[in-house]
Structure 1
Amino acid sequence: MDSGPRPQQAGAMTSLGGAEFAPLTKTYLNTASTGLLPLRTAQALKAAADDAAHGRVGPEYNFTALAAARAGFARIAGVPVDRVAAGNSVATHAGLIARALPSGAEVLIADDDFSSLVNPFAVRTDLKLRSAPLETLAEAVGPQTALVAVSAVQSADGRVADLAALRAAADQHGDTGGGTRIVVDATQAMGWLRLDPRHYDYLLCGSYKWLMCPHGVSLLVVPEDLGPDELVAFNSGWVAGEEPWNSCYGPIAELAHSARRFDERPAFVSYIAAQHSFALIEELGPERIGAYDLALADRCRAGARELGLLPVDARSPIVALPGQGAAAERLKAAGVEASVRAGNLRAAFHLYNTEADVDRLLEVLAEA
């Protein structure tokens, strides 16, 4: 089996994704905002919409697709499927965890991390919310820290959290502080970066970026040693029952015995599509995808430095150019789609991009 991306010549037009994606009408470098749908996923969406219009699909099919998507995500994450709950947004998952914390609990976050992760803890004004720079987050863990919430990869600039160091710090204080849980938002990581399940307790992942799903697909991985009273299924509806079709009326007599008890009612059409995107990630492999994406980002950073620009030092496919946010409109006019975050021009490279895309971005930036 091929263990890595095939070398490309400068300007090569064949991407790692190849025929899995439609030909692009512009230079799309905005996966950190929204990933492009593989053709197989788009076709599944179209078929689902057509089936719904003609009454050809019953609810049983929806649950079959949901189970397939859940299992696919579990394999990508490297966790047992019974630890995976399905929902619609990272903020809702984070809110479920935040609600379970006792009053006065200390929550440690990284400075300027993504709001969907941190705000559910911030609105709990009875919690002690503390912030520290990403680079020193592990050092900031103390004996009173009940929970650390951090993005595996920072949305604004692509910096990667040292989750191994964070786990070591949390374990060091576990005996004196009663245990420190680690919550990781993998939205900007899953799909190109393999995360070690030993380094977190909870994993939250919106799947519309590097996992290339439609909006409405968000997965929650709960701790392997989750206590019976640690997390309450406040968002549970009938789908969270051990037997959903026998849980439609009145209080649910028996919640699911697995993490499925924390399911929200899923956006079924999105999950029908998600199983196909997850399958593509599995076929190519996150390691191979990551190596390909990082090679493109490295080329971009090197080219930016040659132009006198100073990209943020980050080992990720997200390339951030501080102070260059104003260039986004000029790039868009030239057919190059990037984004602006925290004043940075942000380009993001994924398996449908090529070296030609990198060179086009640099060419337009050099015209300033």
Structure 2
Amino acid sequence: MDEGIFGPQSGPMETFENLRNLVRAEFAPKNTYLNTASTGLLPARAVAAMRDAVQSVADGQSQDMFADVEASRSAFARLVGVSDRRVAAGASVAVYSGLIAASLPAGAEVLTAEDDFTSVLNPFHVRGDLKVRTVPLERIPESVRPGTALVAVSAAQSADGRIVDLAALREAAREHGTRTYIDASQATGWLPIDADAYDFVSSVAFKWLVCPRGVAFLVVPEDLGGLTPVFAGWVAGEEPWDNCYGPVRELAHSARRFDESPSLFSYAGARHSLALIEELGVDTVRAHDLALADRFRAGLDRLGHQPVPAPGSAIVSVPQLGHRQAELSRAGVEVSDRAGNLRAAFHLYNTTSDVDRLLDVLSG
């Protein structure tokens, strides 16, 4: 990897080199991969752990992958600044959105952003008896009003990387007694998230947290948020192995009562992916990702293209260039076409050379 692997050097050379070498050891893409907003690359340590887990089952000597679930839960809790007792482990943001939607009384008003990701929105719409109000993302904080029961919004927009004004949203919600539900799927891993500042926070882990698919988390309040564990199975019991038959006799006293039966092979890898993010540090990753995104924006300006305004985002979306996605893929550059826009996402394994390669193909 070229120089600038973590942006401008801000610490001792030895620390900088250690971080760069760590990323080099974990990632070796065979193309110019700028599509983390779709799927993050898996680090070598996670791939090795999953292989071992699969082999253990093939050998009839299955390892304890439930321990991997607990290690992953604890790591995610540390990354977002809460106790692991407040974190449920599952596989899907849509499931957790549905759990929250099911808790609302008929007629409750839910405030959402235009064209937010479907998994955040649809569970509130299918209820049929909720008042779902939709406004442009930039108007979310000012649109909270007396009687708004819940704001449900992504921290960073999947389509174009725009970031909701989280500070203003927190203040508006506090003023009106409104609960907040933040989907941090496009943020956790590069944008610091203080989950304690909101009522509910969900996140998939297969994007910026570089985990396998099948891993997702939900943060709930200390009092569990008044949620009914409508999909509770045996893993939701305080003593799961004592609740395999008949109704669960005692639900877990923690957010584990909202666990889905886990995709164990995925969690076998996830604990190692999350450990890597912790080793690197979200602030370090953020500085690196934003430096690359800004380099791309500057290059776009030289080429006469204007991206969707999304300051401070690791995702850059360029109107009217989405049709070039297939061409870029043939050239070995992986990005996305979202609503006609070309979407590039810059993460810890990307380099300045990756940015320049994308710009070079676009200029051709």
Task: Sort the TM-score into its range (normalised by shorter chain).
Answer: over 0.9
Output aligned runs, 1:75-224, within 5 Å: 75-174=78-177, 180-224=178-222
The yes-or-no answer on 1:343 pairing with 2:340 is: yes
* Structure 1 gap segments, 5+ residues each: 9-13, 175-179
Matched position secondary structure for 1:326 = helix
Output aligned runs, 1:245-260, within 5 Å: 245-260=241-256
Matched position secondary structure for 1:164 = helix
Whole-Å Cα distance in 1 between the matches of residues 325 and 94 of structure 2?
Answer: 28
Whole-Å Cα distance in 1 between the matches of residues 66 and 23 of structure 2?
Answer: 31
2:303 maps to amino acid: L
- Could you say which residue in structure 2 is the equivalent of 1:33? 38
1:4-44 C-alpha deviation (Å, 9 max, x unpaired): 93548xxxxx9675323342211000000000000000111
The TM-score with structure 2 as length reference comes to: 0.93
Contact between 1:157 and 1:319, CA under 8 Å: does it hold in 2? yes
* Structure 2 gap segments, 5+ residues each: 10-18
Whole-Å Cα distance in 2 between the matches of residues 66 and 198 of structure 1?
Answer: 22
- Could you say which residue in structure 2 is the equivalent of 1:317? 314
Q: CA deviation at 1:198?
A: 4.0
Contact between 1:15 and 1:351, CA under 8 Å: does it hold in 2? no
1:121-154 C-alpha deviation (Å, 9 max, x unpaired): 1111100000011111000001010000000000
Q: CA deviation at 1:196?
A: 2.1
Contact between 1:189 and 1:210, CA under 8 Å: does it hold in 2? yes
1:5 maps to amino acid: F
- In structure 2, the CA distance between the partners of 1:67 and 1:96, relative to structure 1 (3 Å rule), is same
- Could you say which residue in structure 2 is the equivalent of 1:73? 76
- Could you say which residue in structure 1 is the equivalent of 2:349? 352
Contact between 2:81 and 2:196, CA under 8 Å: does it hold in 1? no
Q: CA deviation at 1:303?
A: 0.3
Matched position secondary structure for 1:205 = strand
Q: CA deviation at 1:67?
A: 0.8
The yes-or-no answer on 1:239 pairing with 2:235 is: yes
The yes-or-no answer on 1:23 pairing with 2:28 is: yes
Contact between 1:148 and 1:182, CA under 8 Å: does it hold in 2? yes
The TM-score with structure 1 as length reference comes to: 0.92
Contact between 1:201 and 1:224, CA under 8 Å: does it hold in 2? no
Matched position secondary structure for 1:118 = helix
Whole-Å Cα distance in 2 between the matches of residues 249 and 355 of structure 1?
Answer: 56
Number of aligned residue pairs: give it: 350
The yes-or-no answer on 1:5 pairing with 2:6 is: yes
1:240-262 C-alpha deviation (Å, 9 max, x unpaired): 10001111111111000000011
- In structure 2, the CA distance between the partners of 1:140 and 1:251, relative to structure 1 (3 Å rule), is same
- Could you say which residue in structure 2 is the equivalent of 1:332? 329
- Could you say which residue in structure 2 is the equivalent of 1:52? 57
1:290-347 C-alpha deviation (Å, 9 max, x unpaired): 0000000000000001100001121211110011111111111111010011211000
Whole-Å Cα distance in 2 between the matches of residues 224 and 77 of structure 1?
Answer: 15
Task: Quote the sequence identity (%).
Answer: 58
Whole-Å Cα distance in 1 between the matches of residues 209 and 245 of structure 2?
Answer: 35
Over the aligned positions, Cα root-mean-square deviation in angstroms equals: 1.5
- In structure 2, the CA distance between the partners of 1:325 and 1:162, relative to structure 1 (3 Å rule), is same
Q: CA deviation at 1:237?
A: 0.5
Q: CA deviation at 1:56?
A: 1.5
- Could you say which residue in structure 2 is the equivalent of 1:266? 262
- Could you say which residue in structure 2 is the equivalent of 1:11? none
Whole-Å Cα distance in 1 between the matches of residues 221 and 91 of structure 2?
Answer: 20
